[in-house]
Amino acid sequence: MISSSELDVIIVGGGPAGLCAAMYAGRGLLRSVLIERGVPGGELLNTEWIDDYPGFEHVLGRQLADLMTAHAVKFGADIRQDTVESIVRRDDGIFAVATALGQVYEAPSVILTAGGTPTKLEVPGEVEYAGRGVSYCAVCDGAFFKGETLAVIGGGDAAVEEADYLTRYAKKVYVVHRRDQFRASKILQERLFANPKIEVIWNKQVRELKGGPAGMQSVELVDTETGTKSSLAAAGAFIFIGFRPNTGLVKQHVVHDPAGYLITDDRMMTSIPGLYAAGDVRSQLTRQITTAVGDATTAAIAVEKYLADRKSRLAPKAQVGV
């Protein structure tokens, strides 16, 4: 096991991006540690089936997580279960990563792969039917609902855009919004209203998600104005009421987009030298397993080059004899 004073890179987060970064760090013979607050796998552990990862036509999320973890460990990944509380870059260019267990890891580079957290409805049935009807990713799970009736919960850009996307699979998509107008951009709204497979249910709030052994079967609603209760039959509920990237761990200012996602260059480096971002914490078009591991591959290889350049800059200049 590597001591915290001998590290080249600290990887924060053990989802697909973190595990991929750890694998490449091992292949590059970098002295690294991966810190993950729970079981490695990230959101893979909350996904029942995956059918859009190359080479796996149909694989359980937990199975893919186990395979990725084993692959990283084979190349020497040092995975430690702890919760990172802060990431700070000192004036000497060394990062101090503090954890809940009182450890402080130090290294000249950090790859942040801490992902993000979808905002939950926090209603009965949401946890029970997660992966069995309840989803937070239309691109990931939409294909499992061919010919079904679906409910999309939310009223922002993500909800409106993903509802339109889901109509390529579902026979009917209901958009449930607690207000009487969307927050989404006008162009997305126009596209949604023009789609004959979409119907909007205004002024309704979800109070429960019901189902049976086979999965979710209905969305129980309450009118936000009258309090009247109703039930909407649906095989799936796609929840898009917000997503928070886990970027608050960085205690210094780092350039980000309006939603809080970190902006990087083409090597995945952020505005803080030596701090790289990969996966769901990074500002990009889409957030998939494939893009997460692609980001991580680039970041890990870029770290090798960054460390070599740093070593060259810090090396004592050769003395020229008289």
The pLDDT assigned to 118 comes to: 87
3-class DSSP state of 231: strand
Average pLDDT over residues 290-315: 95
Active site residue 141: yes
**From 141, 164, 280, 295, the catalytic residue:** 141
Catalytic annotation present for 20? no
Distance CA 53, CA 267 (A): 23
Provide the pLDDT for residue 51: 84
pLDDT at 286: 83
What structural domains does the chain harbor?
Answer: 4-117+243-314 (3.50.50.60), 134-239 (3.50.50.60)
Query: Among the options 8, 137, 164, 295, which is catalytic?
Result: 137
Whether residue 99 is predicted with pLDDT greater than 90 in this model: the reply is yes
Output 194-201 pairs: Cβ under 8 A, ≥24 positions apart.
195/164, 195/167, 197/167, 197/170, 197/171, 197/172, 197/173, 198/163, 198/164, 198/167, 198/173, 198/174, 199/172, 199/173, 199/174, 199/175, 200/174, 200/175, 201/174, 201/175, 201/176, 201/177, 201/232
pLDDT tens digits, residue range 24-59?
Answer: 999 999 999 999 999 999 888 877 778 889 999 989
- Quote the CA–CA distance of 264 and 254 in Å, as a whole number: 10
Taking residues 222-229, report their average pLDDT: 97
Of 20, 140, 164, 280, the catalytic one is 140
Weakest-pLDDT range from 118-122, 146-150, 313-317:
313-317
pLDDT in tens, 240-282: 998 889 999 999 999 999 989 999 999 999 999 999 999 999 9
Tell whether the model's pLDDT for residue 2 goes beyond 70: no
Position 191 scores a pLDDT of 95
* Top-confidence residue, 243 or 168: 168
